[in-house]
A and B are shown apart, each in its own frame.
Chain A
Amino acid sequence: MSTDPDFTGPTTENLVFDAAEAQRRRRGSTLVRIGDHLKREWQLYAMLLPTILWLIIFLYKPMYGLQIAFKDYSIFRGVADSPWIGLEHFNTLFNNDQFLRAVKNTVIISFYSLLFGFPMPILLALMFNEVLNQTFKKSAQTIVYLPHFISSVIIAGIVITAFSPSAGIVNTVLGWLGIDSIYFLTKPEWFRPIFVGTGIWQEAGFQSIVYLAAIAGVSPTLYESAVVDGASRWQMMWKITVPSIMPTIIIMLIIRIGNILEVSFEMIILLYQPATYETADVVNTFIYRQGLQGGQYDFAAAAGLFNAVVAFVLVMTANTISKRYSRTSLW
């Protein structure tokens, strides 16, 4: 016979083995795996690209400058050539009464904003959800959204006018009640309530949109089923609506806690004055005055870095706690 079976050639078993081996080797290499993945999903990454570029240019590149927090920075020498001085700026910072006061004020103002400002949009959303008359609902929503779209400068102008001792509506009303005019904006004890109240007035309506959207996502049959079971509107609100939007509430809370040191800085600048620094000066305004007005960039950068690190720790903590206790987390 002319053809003996050739045992050295590729038998089926050998081919299968080779393929498996090649696959194993291939799977072993992370680089190859990433390459395969990119080849397959490149369109998705292409869509991601603009955001990544934005992040790099506006958030990561400036981080290069953060090093001046540890340097004796001078504009003439530049970031790279300024000499390292270690933690000296931080030392100065923690011995600076104004900075410590600013940290304290930041925490207090944030705490009040969170305490009174966080539940407000949720309550608004729940209330809007109960309004049956569509015309009334739409107009009320528009009215509470409106302040969000007005520039902070104008909002501050309105607030200053409203609380002005001569012509302000607040003092006018107090006058009717026989109470003497109060110079609200020069009184340190009035700054925090006015600031927190202004923030709520400006943003609560707009922030309620997130919760309204979450409420809209709750299946109507949950309510119908509850109606047949005999639930009142009040019970449905607490037993269905609130638990259903709880994940949204928690996410918003985590974000909020992460931003707790980001007190609306331009609003403070617009409303405070040296007379109220005692309660009004926060870390950001402190940085602004030291850095931009005082030209102490390195010192201001140290303060800013401190702020960022605290914020980072806060978000991480809030997220971890939430993940452990409620299955909801940002990441």
Chain B
Amino acid sequence: MSGVSLKGIVKAYGALQVVHGIDLEVQEKEFVVLVGPSGCGKSTTLRMIAGLEEISDGDLTIDGRHVNRVAPKDRDVAMVFQNYALYPHLNVADNIAFGLRIRKESKETIASSVEEVGGILGLTPYLERRPADLSGGQRQRVAMGRAIVRRPKVFLFDEPLSNLDAKLRTQMRAEIKRLHKRLGVTSIYVTHDQVEAMTLADRIVVMHDGRIEQIGSPMELFLNPVNTFVAGFLGSPPMNMVNARIVAGDLGPVAEFGDNKIQLDQVASLQNSVGQDVVLGIRPEFVTVADDTVPHRVSVEVDLIETLGSEALIHASLQGDPFVIRTETVGQMNVLDGISGFTIAPHLIRVFDAKTGVSLPGQAVGQ
């Protein structure tokens, strides 16, 4: 069971604490993505796992072994860096073989491993080239080759795709996913790109200011964010946030803001929170556009409609705040022309405490 376990991991630079006690259990063969805004401590956490940063407090176990004080080379992890970290004076084959040479593997083992890895990554035609003569995507593949050739227990990735252009990134993302399926090695992947996180992860860890906000599968985090931070971070365009107050209605709790009222889900916590100020989280994808003929619609003022082919983004404003709607276009163009508001199913609205930003308990959207 080559899992990785972090218990109360803390990182402090002198008096400045930047990671405040992280608890995370990564299962064997799992692909976990650490995601969060810049400076939230993702790289620091990953580097502590790699052994490149000292762990100030807490316990790190890899494969059941306590490794706080174990040197990086004895942790049996491999790391892929954002800027590839290829040796410019070595050709591709030698770059891939570097780790094996350091470990004094036999010549035959090295040659066959390099050949195999080159094949897996489609690098065979480039083995004799220097990194300077490769494209960004090829360099990235060499960096990956260097990690997988050692057959480590754990792969660590620190934003490996952020130096690539959008198209290549999509392509390499799929390749990493395929590679993980094929090799089945436990992986921890750092990114600030939520699309990468959503597509790659078995589980996502959302970090913010050196703390974990939420851990869960991509869909779980998308549908049931525990607070406004996670809600706003995942999803593109992000979740709309609307300030409202809960009042009692005929059919259970109702959110009231301005002249609008929206029916809420009949969850006990909402029913008991009448009078409370809340934030409504409304996914751009979950609303149904409505024209003047639809009763009980929430009305918005449409600024701009971006038609992207099969779908459209409607940039509107609700009580002066921006509100984005994402909708299908096919068979809807006439509605789009006359759009003046939207409706939404009560259980798809996420209600957060206005003061703490924490989701009111009991709400859950099924996957």
Nearest residue in B to A230 (C-beta to C-beta)?
B73
| Cα distance A239–B98 in the bound complex, in angstroms | 9
Q: Are B52 and A235 in contact (CB under 8 A)?
A: no
**A246 in the interface, Cβ–Cβ < 8 Å?**
yes
- Residues from chain B with a CB closer than 8 A to the CB of A226 are 98, 102
Q: How many residues of B contact A (CB 8 A)?
A: 22
B120–chain A nearest beta-carbon distance, Å: 19
Partner of B50, one of A222, A228, A235, A239: A228
* Residues from 155 to 209 in A contacting B, C-beta threshold 8 Å: none
Q: B137 interface residue, CB < 8 Å from A?
A: no
Does chain A have a CB within 8 A of B99? yes
CB pair A222–B102 under 8 Å, yes or no, is no
**A86 interface residue (CB < 8 Å to B):** no
**A244, B74: Cα distance in complex, Å:** 26
B104 to chain A, nearest CB (A): 10
Cα–Cα, bound, A230→B87 (Å): 15
Q: Name the distance in Å between A11's Cβ and chain B's nearest Cβ.
A: 43
Name the distance in Å between B140's Cβ and chain A's nearest Cβ: 14
One of B51, B85, B90, B146 near A221 (C-beta < 8 A): B85
Measured CB to CB, the closest approach of chain A to B74, in angstroms, equals 8
Are the CB atoms of B73 and A229 closer together than 8 Å? yes
Q: A219-B83, A222-B87, A240-B87 are in contact. Are A227 and B102 (CB under 8 A)?
A: no
Q: A226-B98, A226-B102, A230-B102 are in contact. Are A219 and B89 (CB under 8 A)?
A: no
- Once bound together, how far apart are the Cα atoms of A239 and B52, in whole Å? 19
CB-based contact A222/B85 at 8 Å: yes
Taking a contact as CB atoms under 8 Å apart, the answer to whether A243 and B52 are in contact is no
> Complex Cα distance A224/B77, Å?
13
Q: Does A8 contact B (CB under 8 A)?
A: no
Of A219, A227, A229, A243, chain B has the most CB atoms within 10 Å of the CB of: A229
- A29 sits at the interface (CB 8 A): no
A30 to chain B, nearest CB (A): 34
Q: Which of A222, A228, A235 contacts B77 (CB 8 A)?
A: A228
As a 0/1 sequence over residues 225 to 257 of chain A, the CB contacts with chain B under 8 angstroms (1 = contact) are 111111100010001100110100000000000
B62 to chain A, nearest CB (A): 13
Contact of B79 among A219, A228, A231, A239 (CB under 8 A): A228
Asked if B119 lies at the interface with its beta carbon under 8 angstroms from chain A, I say no
Let me know if A244 and B98 touch, CB within 8 A: no
Chain A's interface size range is 10 to 19
Task: Let me know if A229 and B150 touch, CB within 8 A.
Answer: yes
Q: How many Å lie between the Cα of A294 and that of B263 in the bound state?
A: 111
Bound: A227/B79 CA distance, A: 10
**Quick check: B102 and A229 within 8 Å, CB to CB?**
yes
Known pairs A226-B102, A230-B99; A221 contacts B73 (CB<8 A): no
- Chain B residue with the shortest CB-CB distance to A227: B72
* Interface check B103, CB cutoff 8 A: yes
- Knowing A230-B99, A230-B102, A240-B87 are in contact, say whether A225-B73 is a contact too (CB < 8 A): no
Bound together, the chains give a CA A227 to CA B73 distance in angstroms of 6
Also in contact, A228 and B87, with CB within 8 A (given A221-B81, A235-B102): no
Q: Indicate if B4 sits at the interface (CB-CB under 8 A).
A: no
Q: Give the residues in chain B near A222, CB-CB below 8 Å.
A: 85, 87
Whether the Cβ atoms of A231 and B83 lie closer than 8 Å is: no
Decide: A243 and B72 in contact? CB cutoff 8 A: no
Known: A227-B52, A228-B50. A246 touches B89 (CB 8 A): yes
A73 to B117, CA, bound (A): 74
Option from A221, A228, A239, A240 in Cβ contact (under 8 Å) with B78:
A228
In the assembled complex, how far is the CB of residue A107 from the closest CB belonging to chain B, in whole angstroms? 33
B73, A243: Cβ atoms closer than 8 Å: no
Smallest Cβ-Cβ distance to B156: which chain A residue:
A228
The yes or no answer to B237 lying at the interface (CB within 8 A) is no
Give Cα A228–Cα B150 distance, bound, in whole angstroms.
11
Could you mark each residue 209-224 of chain A with 1 if its beta carbon is under 8 Å from any beta carbon of chain B, else 0? 0000000000101101
CB–CB A244/B89 < 8 A:
yes
Nearest to A231 among chain B residues (CB) is B102
Given A230-B73, A243-B87, A244-B88; A225-B81 close (CB under 8 Å): yes
Q: Which of chain A's residues have a CB closer than 8 A to the CB of B103?
A: 229-230
Q: How far is the CA of A240 from the CA of B88 in the complex (A)?
A: 9
Cα–Cα distance between A243 and B89 once the two chains are bound (Å) = 7
In the assembled complex, the Cα of A229 lies from the Cα of B79 at a distance in Å of: 8
Residues of A within 8 Å of B77, CB to CB, are 228
Would you give the shortest CB distance from B321 to chain A, in whole angstroms? Answer: 42
How distant is the Cα of A224 from the Cα of B99 in the complex, in angstroms?
Answer: 12
Chain B residues near A244 (CB-CB < 8 A):
88-89
B239 to chain A, nearest CB (A): 36
**Complex CA–CA separation, A239 to B94 (angstroms):** 11
A225 close to B85 (CB less than 8 A):
yes
Which partner residue on chain A sits nearest B150 by CB separation? A229
Complex-state Cα separation, A226 to B71, whole angstroms:
12
Give the docked Cα–Cα distance between A239 and B73 (Å). Answer: 16
Give which listed residue, B72, B83, B88, contacts A228 with CB less than 8 A: B72
- Taking the nearest CB of chain A, how far is it from the CB of B46, in angstroms? 11
A selection of 27 A-B contacts at a CB cut-off of 8 Å is A219-B83, A224-B52, A224-B85, A225-B79, A226-B98, A226-B102, A227-B51, A227-B72, A227-B73, A228-B50, A228-B51, A228-B72, A228-B77, A228-B78, A228-B79, A229-B78, A229-B102, A229-B103, A229-B146, A230-B72, A230-B74, A230-B99, A231-B73, A239-B87, A239-B98, A244-B89, A246-B89
Residues of A within 8 A of B (CB): 219, 221-222, 224-231, 235, 239-240, 243-244, 246
Taking A227-B52, A229-B103 as known contacts, 15 extra A-B pairs with beta carbons closer than 8 A to each other, sorted by chain A number, are A219-B85, A224-B81, A225-B81, A227-B73, A228-B50, A228-B51, A228-B52, A229-B146, A231-B73, A239-B102, A240-B87, A243-B87, A243-B90, A244-B88, A244-B89
The 6 A-B residue pairs with the shortest CB-CB distance in the complex, in nearest-first order: A230-B73, A229-B99, A225-B85, A243-B89, A221-B85, A228-B79
